[in-house]
A and B are shown apart, each in its own frame.
Chain A
Amino acid sequence: AQSVTQLGSHVSVSEGALVLLRCNYSSSVPPYLFWYVQYPNQGLQLLLKYTSAATLVKGINGFEAEFKKSETSFHLTKPSAHMSDAAEYFCAVSGNTPLVFGKGTRLSVIA
Chain B
Amino acid sequence: NAGVMQNPRHLVRRRGQEARLRCSPMKGHSHVYWYRQLPEEGLKFMVYLQKENIIDESGMPKERFSAEFPKEGPSILRIQQVVRGDSAAYFCASSRQGAYMNTEAFFGQGTRLTVV
Name A's B-contacting residues (CB within 8 A). Answer: 4, 6, 9, 32, 34, 36, 41-46, 49, 51-52, 90, 94-104
A41→B110 CA distance, assembly (Å): 8
Name B's A-contacting residues (CB within 8 A). Answer: 4, 33, 35, 40-45, 48, 56, 91, 93, 99-102, 104-110, 112
Q: Which of A51, A99, A102 contacts B33 (CB 8 A)?
A: A99
A42→B109 CA distance, assembly (Å): 5
- Chain A residues with Cβ below 8 Å from B99 are 94, 97-99
A97 to chain B, nearest CB (A): 7
B75 to chain A, nearest CB (A): 14
Does the CB pair A52–B40 fall under 8 Å? no
Does the CB pair B42–A32 fall under 8 Å? no
Q: A43-B4, A99-B33 are in contact. Are A49 and B102 (CB under 8 A)?
A: yes
A99 to chain B, nearest CB (A): 6
In the complex, residue of chain B having the shortest beta-carbon distance to the beta carbon of A102? B42
Does the CB pair A90–B48 fall under 8 Å? no
Rank and list the top 5 A-B pairs by shortest CB-CB distance, nearest first: A101-B42, A43-B107, A98-B99, A44-B107, A103-B42
- Chain B residues with Cβ below 8 Å from A52 are 102
In the complex, residue of chain A having the shortest beta-carbon distance to the beta carbon of B92? A43
In the complex, residue of chain A having the shortest beta-carbon distance to the beta carbon of B3? A43
In the complex, residue of chain B having the shortest beta-carbon distance to the beta carbon of A29? B100
- Chain A residues with Cβ below 8 Å from B40 are 9, 103
Q: A97-B99, A97-B100, A98-B33 are in contact. Are A104 and B107 (CB under 8 A)?
A: no
Does the CB pair A96–B42 fall under 8 Å? no
- Chain B residues with Cβ below 8 Å from A43 are 4, 91, 107-110
- Chain B residues with Cβ below 8 Å from A103 are 40-42
| A-B contact list, 21 entries, CB within 8 Å | A4-B42, A6-B42, A9-B40, A32-B102, A43-B4, A43-B107, A43-B109, A44-B93, A45-B107, A49-B102, A49-B104, A94-B99, A94-B100, A97-B56, A97-B99, A98-B48, A98-B56, A99-B45, A99-B105, A102-B42, A103-B42
